[in-house]
Chain A
């Protein structure tokens, strides 16, 4: 009996979500890959300025959210995407799923942090950049020197002590591979990865996993991203977050309106707010580089010159060569690595 009631209740809830006009308060369904620990904060800050719009989050990792959005293409449920990788948004744009919109204050954004179209399909929030997580305790035990560059990681002393994400499974992994190829050039880039492969203990399926493994002492060195390293360090992990001097791969985290939303006004309000000065200050609490130049203050565990360290990432090149790069990577290092051992 109670079950029937709860079933009916949930059905009603679902129908309510579909029915738009019933409430004075507008509810937006927002898909995101922003780290779960920040979601409440994002919604609260937004509601300080716009208490009449309620955000209902659907959060998951970048790959799952992207796959889900693509699968829902025929009948989208998200109104807004707030906090998804630029590469994913590029893909969604290619599928015609995004609504171009020029939010208020667009001119204040750095050109790198917006879709190139005159009326952009997405606008950037912050940059999410590569970093190496080094466990100081385990490194000391093994007598490993602190690496300072990507090249350092290929030294024989690090053999079997490095873990990195598999670019076929993880956006972070692809970001590294694409950055190496762009910085070093195609031939030297693959040569570098051949050398690095000798030192890799294993490739993981998730981009944050190498850093988590370093934090737990499962590996001394994890190639991962800065945000995770800094957060784990805050939580007490014996980590040193290293930013290799040659340059860092990075990816923009961005906002977009999903085409066909029935709540266009509220969606526009949210996107306007997402690139406001206040929002940029909020992103800066977790990220060293944000979309509006001049806003970012140096933050703990990040280098002060973060925006000099990131490479001049050619997202168009990376997107159009993605399949070929991944196929080559798989040919060289995947599966074969297992047989070689």
Chain B
């Protein structure tokens, strides 16, 4: 199918434009529906909470009084600037490391890249408690590497940056890998023909090709770090950031209106990042055109060694953290009784819902994966590959990225206010597994959406045009060309949603009911009770489940790769 279409001469731009504007009706309606769904899942709940920012406790309108009160409380400047510099620093570190890793995986001939990829995504397979425990066991006062800290304290900005880098790395890597995987070999051939040095090729071909991915990854990491309260809460000590301020206001003092104020302040940097993202995105063009030849890195041992050197520190850091966490789950009582046993894995004796919670988590994760992947991909396809007005696409992009800027805690509370309202016809959903699924899909929508869009952008628009000239409808092109070409990215999105649903805590902690306890929440309550080893054990169980999912996904990808290799090469 593709083979024959590849040989069809591209249509002239004029023809293309005419075809694009011919039948917009159905697709506009569909994307409108997509906007509607996201409006229900994101904007409406958010409004129900954030509107409290201009109300007093009794629900009366007070204008900006809460904002001035918050600014006068003092300490806010430090929280705001702390948040900014910690997020910016984490962003620079993570994006550099993830870019180096993605380069080493896609542009060298290193062996075992499947396994390396697997190891590099380990951080999102584990509940966020694990790095917290590991960092303390490694660098805390009793930590085995405490001397490396040279007297500095892990409880503070250092801990926050380390913890944040750890858990956001896979998010950035996923976007960058998607951006760099489908490289056009012709550009590299041209560079070689022009006798450009490796360095020059890197800056003129590799980096520009990955530009959209780089900006998206930076935007994602920055926003994830600035909205996360899990890491600062566990390891930040008294280092104030905006996200822990929300925690203090809402959980510590039940001041919803002040929590809403801080949430809105938190949206500002995220909106700036969003705007920057939009500007760069406008300039991105497809890197995999219908005439592309896949890039095959030539033989070059020096470059391969460089790649290995760039990967090693990241790999070591990740493996050390995970290894320490597994060790923590086997230890009897750290650091005074280091006997190892599996007794911490007897969850039926533990509190927090035991194996029942584990089953619920599994169901919730599967639901999130199926529903989320379908929703994300279909909407992304509508936005990218069907004729849509700029306004509509812009609106949709905004809705899709907005959840990223919302801390889970805020999202969870917003869902209570919106979905539990007696006047909401959907309030029957509250307390069910389905609301947990919807909330989780929403919570992780943005990165999934960016991955899907990145993958779709790399396909030349000519695919659809060619399809039309062959009298194949957009639907047919979707199922016979677009979907198969995007399958790796689809599998990535599915895995991403599955593992995040397994590990998420911050939003669902407000939404689970008596019959829908979750394993990730159980981990938190065991840790709260001081049962660190059993908490680590349950966390390791979650991680193993996610690793199993990752292996399955890896196997599928490998099979897919083999089955479509000839096809992709256009041979």
Interface residue ranges, A against B (CB under 8 Å) = 3, 6-7, 10-11, 13-15, 17-18, 29, 35-37, 39-40, 56-61, 63-64, 66-68, 70-72, 74-75, 77, 88, 91, 137, 166-171, 202-206, 208, 211-212, 215-219, 228, 231-232, 235-238, 322-323, 326-327, 330-331, 334-339
Q: How far is the CA of A57 from the CA of B155 in the complex (A)?
A: 34
Q: Which residue of A has the minimal Cβ distance to B237?
A: A202
The contact of A59 among B156, B427, B525, by CB within 8 Å, is B525
- Nearest-CB distance from A303 to chain B (Å)? 21
Is B141's CB within 8 Å of the partner chain A? yes
Any chain A CB within 8 A of the CB of B429? yes
Nearest residue (CB) in A for B136 is: A218
CB contacts (< 8 Å) of A217 on chain B: these are 141-142, 335-336
Roughly how many angstroms separate A74 CA and B363 CA in the complex, as a whole number?
29
Q: CB-CB < 8 A to A169: which residues of B?
A: 244, 247-248, 251-252
Q: Which residues of B contact A68 (CB under 8 A)?
A: 416, 510
Chain A residues positioned under 8 Å from B237 (CB to CB): 202-204
Q: List 14 A-B contacts (CB under 8 A).
A: A3-B367, A10-B433, A14-B434, A58-B512, A63-B254, A71-B416, A77-B420, A204-B238, A215-B530, A218-B142, A235-B530, A322-B253, A331-B73, A335-B76
Once the chains are docked, how many angstroms separate the CA of A150 from the CA of B142? 26
Take A7-B433, A168-B248, A334-B240 as given contacts and tell me if A75 and B335 are in contact as well, using a CB distance cutoff of 8 Å. no
Q: Tell me, in angstroms, the Cα distance from A37 to B534 when the chains sit together.
A: 12
B331 to chain A, nearest CB (A): 11
Residues in A with CB closer than 8 Å to B363 are 6, 10
The interface bits of chain B over 393-425 (1 if a CB of A lies within 8 angstroms of the residue's CB, else 0) are 000000000000000000001001100111000
A202 and B516 in contact, given A208-B530, A212-B530 (Cβ under 8 angstroms): no
Known contacts A17-B515, A68-B510; is-contact A336 B427 (Cβ 8 Å): no
Distance between Cα atoms of A203 and B75 in the complex (Å): 15
Residues of B with C-beta under 8 A to A171: 252
Kindly state whether residue B239 has any CB partner on chain A within 8 Å: yes
CB-CB contacts below 8 Å: B462-513 with A: 509-510, 512-513
A264 to chain B, nearest CB (A): 19
Closest residue to A57 on the B side, CB-wise?
Answer: B514
- Complex CA distance for A204 and B82, rounded to whole angstroms: 17
Contact of A137 (CB < 8 Å), options: B153, B250, B254, B336: B336
Q: Which of A15, A35, A59, A166 contacts B248 (CB 8 A)?
A: A166
Contact code string B519-540 (vs A, CB < 8 Å = 1, else 0) = 0010001101111100000000
Chain A residues whose C-beta falls within 8 Å of the C-beta of B434 in the assembled complex: 7, 10-11, 14
Do residues A71 and B433 form an inter-chain contact, with CB atoms below 8 A?
Answer: no
In contact, A67 and B530 (Cβ under 8 angstroms): no
Contact A17 B142, CB 8 Å, known A59-B525, A216-B532, A237-B333: no
Question: In the complex, which residues of chain A have a beta carbon less than 8 angstroms from the beta carbon of B10?
Answer: none
Residues of A within 8 A of B250 (CB): 63, 67
Interface residues on B, range: 35 or more
Contacts of A75 in B (CB 8 A): 420-422, 427, 430
Q: Which of B420-445 contact A (CB under 8 A)?
A: 420-422, 427-434, 437
CB-defined contacts of A204 to chain B, threshold 8 Å: 237-238
Residues in A whose Cβ lies below 8 Å from that of B516: 10, 13
Q: Which residues of B contact A323 (CB under 8 A)?
A: 253
Q: Chain A residues near B265: list those with CB within 8 A.
A: none
B300 at the A/B interface (Cβ < 8 Å)?
Answer: no
A37, A77, A238, A323 — most chain B CB neighbours (10 Å): A37
A205 touches B233 (CB 8 A): yes
Chain A nearest CB: distance from B253 CB in Å?
7
Q: Does B74 interact with chain A (Cβ within 8 Å)?
A: yes
B140: interface (CB < 8 Å): yes
Determine if B189 is an interface residue (Cβ-Cβ < 8 Å): no
Q: Is B317 part of the contact surface with A, judged by Cβ < 8 Å?
A: no
Q: A205-B248, A237-B336 are in contact. Are A66 and B254 (CB under 8 A)?
A: yes
Q: Are A74 and B238 in contact (CB under 8 A)?
A: no
A240 to chain B, nearest CB (A): 14
Q: Using a CB-CB cutoff of 8 Å, which residues 260-275 of chain B contact chain A?
A: none
| B420→A3 contact, CB < 8 A | no
Q: Is the CB of B140 within 8 A of A218?
A: yes
Q: Which 7 A-B pairs have the closest CB atoms?
A: A335-B75, A56-B514, A14-B432, A10-B433, A36-B351, A63-B251, A202-B237
Which residue of A is nearest B236, CB measured?
A205
Q: A7-B434, A64-B510, A216-B335 are in contact. Are A203 and B238 (CB under 8 A)?
A: yes
A337→B238 contact, CB < 8 A:
yes
CA distance A203 to B114 in the complex (A): 43
Q: In chain B, residues 354-379, which have Cβ atoms closer than 8 Å to a Cβ of chain A?
A: 363, 366-367, 370
* Nearest A-chain residue to B58, judged by Cβ: A95
CA distance A17 to B253 in the complex (A): 31
How close is B258's CB to chain A, nearest CB, in angstroms? 11
Residue of A nearest to B510 (CB): A68
Residues of A close to B252: CB separation below 8 A: 63, 166-171, 205
| Cβ–Cβ contact A17 & B514, under 8 A | yes
Closest A residue to B133 by CB, please name it: A216
Beyond A77-B420, A88-B254, A205-B247, 9 additional pairs, beta carbon < 8 A: A3-B367, A17-B513, A56-B515, A67-B254, A166-B248, A206-B233, A208-B528, A217-B336, A231-B529
Q: For the complex, what is the distance from the CA of A17 to the CA of B432, rounded to whole Å?
A: 9
Q: Name the contact of B510 in the complex, choosing from A67, A235, A331 (C-beta under 8 A).
A: A67
Report if A338-B78 is in contact (Cβ < 8 Å); known contacts: A71-B416, A217-B142: yes
Which residue from chain A places its CB closest to the CB of B229 in the assembled complex? Answer: A205
B256 within 8 A of A: yes
- Contacts A205-B248, A236-B336 known; A60 to B433 CB distance under 8 Å? no
Contact A216 B334 (CB under 8 A): yes
Is the pair A205, B525 in contact by a Cβ cutoff of 8 Å? no
Task: Kindly provide the distance from the CB of B199 to the nearest chain A CB, expressed in whole angstroms.
Answer: 42
Would you call A72 and B416 a contact (CB within 8 A)? yes
* Alpha-carbon separation in the docked complex, A216 to B251 (Å): 26
User: Chain A residues near B427 (CB, 8 Å)?
Assistant: 75
